[in-house]
Amino acid sequence: MKAFAFLRGVTTLVITLAGLLFITFVIGRVMPIDPVVAVVGDKASQETYARAREEMGLDKPIWVQFGRYIEGVARGDLGQSSSSGQPVVEDIARAFPATLELSVFAIVIGVLVGLPLGVYAAHRRNTWFDHAARFMSLFGYSTPVFWLGLIALLIFYAQLGWTSGPGRIGTAYRYTVQEWSGLLLIDTLRSGDWNAFRSAFSHIILPGLLLGYFSLAYIARMTRNFMIEELNKEYVTMARIKGASETRILWRHAFPNALVPVVTVIALSFGHLLEGAVLTETVFAWPGLGLYITKSLFSADMPAVLGGTLVVGVCFVLLNKATELIYPFLDPRTRAR
């Protein structure tokens, strides 16, 4: 039974990933720009054009092309970026740590603030605390992230001068930091360069807090809903009759039961951060995956756009799969018998 469930899980994962590939492949084919012209230029001779077309495999039937595409991706080949001239995989590998650092920073804030906020809002349902928390969430849900980013830059960078502006680290440190993990906060700490660390921190704080706010809005609201559902159940009344303290009821009785949906929400919100990062990175000139995708968009660099899209999609799928794998540890009811 266990082996069957595992096999089923693997099959759905493979099908989903193949589907992702098919979508990016199709998007790559419907574009109005001729991919051959994008490579050889529109002044190329007839022979050059034909040869390039053959080399790119565009003369083959569409299914063969799709097969080749999958084969390439499996080998880690996402094509060549037409704007940087580098393999797309290398470009993405360079940009990815920046996005990872920003999203991890944000999700940590989202979880640390959002979880307790949601739990206590559920506990003090319909009090001013609950209403304030709800309004904060709603505001986060409804605000365009790029706009809030611009306003934050205007206030905290330009007016008050509390933080650094766009970018990831001060220009003075850009080439002195020893790359180790690719996450600048860790790398600067590791090399013991305090000034560089301070510079990196004052750069990440604004976009990080901003994205953190958006994820905490989501996490707090969903946690509140799940907790209210649990708190209405009989075992909570039972615990109360037994004389358990409210803190104990909240964290020891109700919260563990709400944990599975809450973890799902956290994973989802991490996925949304990758999305929010596209706009935030553009506003803050943060050299991550999002900025890479938007920059490539404007140079009509389709391999780069699709490669970036695919990587984000795959991250999203794997993240969801990973949460499914930890369910049994969180909730005995989901363990396969």
Tokens, residue 258: 């709400």
Beta partners for 238? none
Q: How far is the CB of 94 from another protein (least distance, A)?
A: 19
Beta partners for 87? 80
Q: How far is the CB of 159 from another protein (least distance, A)?
A: 9
C-beta closer to another protein: residue 185 or 211: 211
**Residue found by looking up tokens 């995956």 in the block:** 289
**Is residue 92 close enough to count as binding another protein by CB under 8 A?**
no
**Segment near another protein (CB under 8 A); pick from 116-124, 173-181, 205-213, 310-318:** 310-318
Q: Return the ∠ at Cα 286 (arms to 282 and 290), rounded to 5°.
A: 55
* Rounded Cα–Cα distance for residues 221 and 240 (Å): 25
Q: How far is the CB of 218 from another protein (least distance, A)?
A: 12
The three-state secondary structure class of 80 is: strand
Q: Number of residues in contact with another protein, rule: CB under 8 A? A: 50
* Residue in 170, 263, 294, 326 binding another protein, rule: CB under 8 A: 294
* Residue in 275, 326, 327, 330 binding another protein, rule: CB under 8 A: 275
The three-state secondary structure class of 169 is: coil
**Is residue 297 close enough to count as binding another protein by CB under 8 A?**
yes
C-beta closer to another protein: residue 82 or 282: 282
* 40-44 contacts, C-beta under 8 A, 24 or more apart: none
C-beta closer to another protein: residue 142 or 171: 142
Asked if 79 contacts 68 with a C-beta cutoff of 8 angstroms, the reply is: no
**Segment near another protein (CB under 8 A); pick from 18-26, 37-45, 57-65, 71-79:** 18-26
C-beta closer to another protein: residue 74 or 158: 158
Closest CA to 180 of 166, 196, 164: 196
* Rounded Cα–Cα distance for residues 199 and 80 (Å): 34
Binding mask 145-164 for another protein (x = CB under 8 A): xxxx-xx-xx---x------
Tokens, residue 26: 């199709």
State CA 243 to chain mean position distance: 43
**Is residue 132 close enough to count as binding another protein by CB under 8 A?**
no
Q: How far is the CB of 190 from another protein (least distance, A)?
A: 31
Q: How far is the CB of 65 from another protein (least distance, A)?
A: 16
C-beta closer to another protein: residue 121 or 312: 312
**Is residue 32 close enough to count as binding another protein by CB under 8 A?**
yes
Residue 109: its H or E element: helix 88-123
In order of 35, 120, 153, 209, 267, the CA distances from 203 in angstroms are: 38, 32, 11, 11, 25
**Is residue 79 close enough to count as binding another protein by CB under 8 A?**
no
In order of 36, 41, 81, 295, the CA distances from 44 in angstroms are: 10, 6, 19, 26
Torsion (CA) 174, 176, 181, 185 in degrees, nearest 10: -60
**Is residue 4 close enough to count as binding another protein by CB under 8 A?**
no
**Residue found by looking up tokens 């935030």 in the block:** 280
Q: How far is the CB of 252 from another protein (least distance, A)?
A: 26
C-beta closer to another protein: residue 106 or 177: 106
**Is residue 112 close enough to count as binding another protein by CB under 8 A?**
no
**Is residue 10 close enough to count as binding another protein by CB under 8 A?**
no
* Residue in 5, 7, 9, 12 binding another protein, rule: CB under 8 A: 12
* Rounded Cα–Cα distance for residues 151 and 176 (Å): 31
Residues that bind another protein (CB under 8 A): 12, 15-16, 19-20, 23-24, 27-28, 30-32, 138-139, 141-148, 150-151, 153-154, 158, 271-272, 274-275, 278-279, 282-283, 293-294, 297-298, 300, 302, 305-306, 308-309, 312-313, 316-317, 320
